[in-house]
Amino acid sequence: MKPILTKGQLITWKEGRGFGFIKAHHGGKNVFLHISALPENSPHPKVGDTILYQRVITPKGKVRAAKASIAGIKPKSPKPSFPKQKKSGRIQTMIGVIMLSAMALIILEFRSSRSPGLITAITKPGCTIKGNISINTGKKIYHLPNMADYQTTVISPEQGEKWFCTEAEAMEKGWSKASK
Predicted local confidence at residue 136, as pLDDT: 86
Give the residue ranges of DSSP H helices in 72-160. Answer: 87-114, 118-121
Predicted local confidence at residue 130, as pLDDT: 92
Sequence-distant (6+) residues with CB within 8 A of 157 are 120, 123
Q: What is the mean pLDDT of residues 157-179?
A: 91
Mapping DSSP to helix (H, G, I), strand (E, B) and coil, where does residue 11 land? strand
Q: Where are the beta strands (DSSP E) in 15-133?
A: 19-24, 31-34, 50-57, 63-70, 129-133
Fold topology of 5-70:
OB fold (Dihydrolipoamide Acetyltransferase, E2P) (2.40.50)
Domain spans in the chain, listed from the N-terminal domain onward: 5-70, 129-177
Q: What angle do CA 163, 169, 175 make, to 5 degrees?
A: 75
Predicted local confidence at residue 84, as pLDDT: 62
Consecutive H or E run containing 8: strand 6-14
Could you tell me how many helices (H) and strands (E) the chain has, helices first? 3, 9
37 vs 19, 21, 51, 63, 68, CA distance in Å? 10, 12, 11, 13, 5
Q: Is 160 left (phi over 0), alpha (psi -120 to 50) or beta?
A: left
Predicted local confidence at residue 111, as pLDDT: 67
The C-alpha atoms of residue 78 and residue 36 are separated, in whole angstroms, by 17
Q: What is the pTM of this model?
A: 0.41
Q: What is the mean pLDDT of residues 141-162?
A: 89
Residue 173 confidence (pLDDT) above 50: yes
Residue in 73, 65, 74 with CA at minimum distance from that of residue 5:
65
113-151 tens-digit pLDDT: 555 554 444 456 789 999 999 888 899 999 999 898 888
16-74 tens-digit pLDDT: 899 999 998 887 888 999 999 898 888 888 999 898 988 888 898 888 988 988 888 77
Residue 81 confidence (pLDDT) above 80: no
Predicted local confidence at residue 34, as pLDDT: 92
